[in-house]
Structure 1
Amino acid sequence: MMESMGLPVPAEACIITASLYCLKTHHLAIQGVAFAAIAGAIIGDNFGYLIGRRVGFPLLQRYGPRMGLTHDRLILGQYLFSRHGNAIVFLGRFVAVLRVFVAVLAGACRMRWPEFMVFNALG
């Protein structure tokens, strides 16, 4: 959940460790680990979206140029999320670095929440 909120946490390592623990000890059900991973990803992305929606764009305007995000690039980002946001969110679930930031960026770029929720859950 924390990775999906925008914090670079090694979620894959946690899931693999929990899966191996299930295999070796039989103290956890693998279905529970899978459910927790899916629910954590969806809930974390929604929190990340809300964070981006509330404070994301003003922060990107203020501190973005330090990271190479000029005003023109922010406008381009808004355009891309309005035009191709569904594909960005869906495919972003499969790319490790993008997965950390896609929810916050979708919120900051004002992507519509119902579309975000559907394509986030599908991813």
Structure 2
Amino acid sequence: MEWITRLMEALGSPGAGLAVALENVFPPVPSEVILPLAGFTAGQGKISLLAAILWTTAGSVAGALVLYFLGAWLGLERLRRIAERVPFVSVSDVDKADAWFDRHGNAAVFVGRMVPVVRSLISIPAGVSGMPLGRFTLYTAAGSLVWNSALILAGYALGENYELIDRYLGWVSTAVLAALAIAIAWFVVSRLKARRS
């Protein structure tokens, strides 16, 4: 928190954008902390509210592009070769996931940018599936703009109580992680049962 505050004090709104870009790639501090703090800082008149929204959205897109290009580098064929060596995973699983992303990729990227935990990870399958860069950037920017605006405006409105946002959204992040853990456990158990039968 202190580092983010110093970053915004030193660089202004671009500092908030840089923090969000780093959070997308290395998420030790979630956007649920950075964005309300940016709103609170704007409320104190230290940075512009509009500039905070624009710079953090630009930072979100920049961070997402790093992971998109990581997914593009990984590629579908390489992912298939990896799947052949990973227990409980098959090449057909990769193909099904890719087909699903081809059908629902636009919505997945847009909505995924507003879901804790998923918001960073969604960029990788977009790159793997070869989603056109322009379309990926457009939906990432749109989803990020909604999410960033909501949290920055909430921090602006709550003032010194901006930390309440992280407290309540922390439950959402925990629920998402729990859902992912349950889905993985169900996947592994179902594959074990299939092998035994």
TM over 0.5: yes
Aligned to 1:100: 120
Asked if 1 retains the 8 angstrom alpha-carbon contact of 2:58 and 2:141, the reply is no
Asked if 1 retains the 8 angstrom alpha-carbon contact of 2:71 and 2:125, the reply is yes
Asked if 1 retains the 8 angstrom alpha-carbon contact of 2:73 and 2:128, the reply is yes
CA 1:104 to 1:32, structure 2 compared with 1: closer, same or farther past 3 Å?
Answer: same
Aligned to 2:40: 20
For residues 80-114 of structure 1, what are the alpha-carbon distances to aligned partners after superposition, in whole Å with 9 as ceiling and x for unaligned?
Answer: 11121111111111111211101111101222223
Aligned to 1:75: 95
Q: TM-score, normalised by structure 2?
A: 0.53
Aligned to 1:65: 86
Q: Which has the higher contact order (CA 8 A, sep 6+)?
A: 1
Q: Distance in 2 between matches of 1:60 and 1:101?
A: 19
Asked if 2 retains the 8 angstrom alpha-carbon contact of 1:3 and 1:10, the reply is yes
Asked if 2 retains the 8 angstrom alpha-carbon contact of 1:77 and 1:109, the reply is no
Give the number of the structure whose alpha-carbon radius of gyration is greater. Answer: 2
Asked if 2 retains the 8 angstrom alpha-carbon contact of 1:78 and 1:109, the reply is yes
Asked if 1 retains the 8 angstrom alpha-carbon contact of 2:70 and 2:124, the reply is yes
Q: Distance in 2 between matches of 1:3 and 1:75?
A: 30
Work out the percentage of aligned pairs sharing the same amino acid: 27
Q: Distance in 2 between matches of 1:30 and 1:85?
A: 31
Aligned to 1:54: 73
Asked if 2 retains the 8 angstrom alpha-carbon contact of 1:52 and 1:103, the reply is yes
Q: Distance in 1 between matches of 2:89 and 2:56?
A: 32
Which has more helix, going by share of residues?
2
Q: Distance in 1 between matches of 2:72 and 2:23?
A: 17
Which structure 2 residue ranges, 5 or more long, are not aligned?
1-20, 144-197
RMSD of aligned Cα (Å): 2.4
Aligned to 2:133: 113
Q: Distance in 2 between matches of 1:80 and 1:86?
A: 11
Code of the residue aligned with 2:116 in structure 1: it is A
Deviation at 1:55, TM superposition (A): 2.5
Deviation at 1:76, TM superposition (A): 1.2
